[in-house]
Chain A
Amino acid sequence: MANMNLYSRNDKLFVYVNMALIVIFTLSTLYPFIYIAAVSFSDGSAASAGVVVYRPIETTIAAYRYVMEEPLFWTSYRNTFIYTFGGTFVSLLIIVPGAYALSRPQLIGRRFFNLFVAFTMWFNAGLIPFFLNMRDLGLMDSYFGLIIAFACNAFNIILLRNFFEAIPQSFEEAARMDGANEFQVLWKVYIPLSKPALATIILFCMVARWNGFFWAMILLKDEDKIPLQVYLRQVIATLKDDEEFGLQVMNFSYSVESVTAAIMVCSIIPVLIFYPFIQKYFNKGIMLGGVKE
Chain B
Amino acid sequence: MAEHNSTSEGRLIRLYDHFKREWQIYVLLLPMIIWFLVFLYKPMYGLQVAFKDYSIFSGVANSPWIGLEHFNTLFGSDQFMRAIRNTVIISIYSLCVGFPMPIILALMFNEITHHAFKRTAQTIVYLPHFISTVIIGGIVITAFSPTAGIVNLFLGWLGFEPIYFLIKPEWFRPIFIGSGIWQEAGFSSIVFLAAIAGVNPSLYESAVVDGASRWQMMWKITLPSILPTIIIMLIIRIGNLLEVGFELIIVLYQPATYETADVINTFIYRQGLQGAQYDLAAAAGLFNAVVAFVLVMTANTISRRYSRTSLW
Contact = CB atoms under 8 A, between A and B. Distances in A.
Interface of A: 3-4, 7, 10-11, 14-15, 18-19, 21-23, 25-26, 28-30, 32-33, 35-36, 39, 47-53, 93-95, 97-98, 100-102, 104, 106-108, 113, 116-118, 120-133, 136-137, 148-149, 151-152, 157-158, 181-183, 186, 207, 210-214, 218, 229, 232-233, 236, 239-240, 243-244, 248, 255, 257, 260-261, 264, 267-268, 271, 275, 279, 282-283, 286-287, 291-293
Candidate in B29, B111, B256 with the most chain A CB atoms within 10 angstroms: B29
Given A106-B22, A116-B33, A240-B254, A126 B289 contact: yes
A26 B32 CA distance: 41
A211 B153 contact: no
B38 to A, nearest CB: 7
Interface stretch (B72-80, B89-97, B229-237): B229-237
A33 B127 CA distance: 10
Contacts of B25: 101, 104, 106-107, 182
A130 B43 contact: yes
B125 interface: yes
B182 interface: yes
B254 A131 contact: no
Given A7-B213, A29-B128, A257 B145 contact: yes
Given A101-B26, A128-B278, A39 B142 contact: yes
A128 B124 CA distance: 38
Given A122-B296, A127-B273, A264 B138 contact: yes
B112 interface: yes
B111 to A, nearest CB: 5
Nearest to B179: A32
Nearest to B282: A128
A47 B153 CA distance: 12
Nearest to B26: A101
Contacts of B66: none
Interface string B97-121: 0000000010011011110010011
A100 B286 CA distance: 33
B65 interface: no
Given A14-B213, A39-B148, 10 more contacts: A7-B211, A50-B145, A51-B153, A101-B29, A122-B293, A128-B285, A148-B35, A210-B132, A236-B251, A244-B167
B31 interface: yes
B105 A267 contact: no
Contact of B135 (A97, A232, A292): A232
Contacts of B40: 120, 124-125
Given A213-B133, A267-B132, A287-B194, A127 B112 contact: no
A175 to B, nearest CB: 14
Contacts of B26: 101, 107
A127 B35 contact: no
Contacts of A283: 190, 193-194
B57 interface: no
B22 A275 contact: no
Interface of B: 15, 18, 22, 24-26, 28-29, 31-33, 35-36, 38-44, 46-47, 49, 59-60, 105, 108-109, 111-114, 117, 120-121, 123-128, 130-135, 137-139, 141-143, 145-150, 152-153, 164, 166-167, 182, 186, 190-191, 193-194, 211-215, 229, 232-233, 236, 247, 250-251, 254, 256, 265, 268-269, 272-273, 278, 281-282, 285-286, 288-289, 292-293, 296-297, 311-312
A14 B215 contact: yes
Nearest to B110: A18
Contact of A122 (B109, B288, B297): B297
Contact of B251 (A94, A133, A233): A233
Given A25-B125, A123-B289, A244-B254, A14 B111 contact: yes
Contacts of B288: 126
A261 B22 CA distance: 56
Given A106-B22, A127-B268, A260 B138 contact: yes
A32 B32 contact: no
B289 A243 contact: no
A26 B121 contact: yes
B31 A282 contact: no
Contact of B32 (A97, A229, A286, A291): A97
A29 B153 contact: no
Contacts of B146: 243
Candidate in B111, B148, B251, B286 with the most chain A CB atoms within 10 angstroms: B148
Given A123-B289, A128-B282, A239 B141 contact: yes
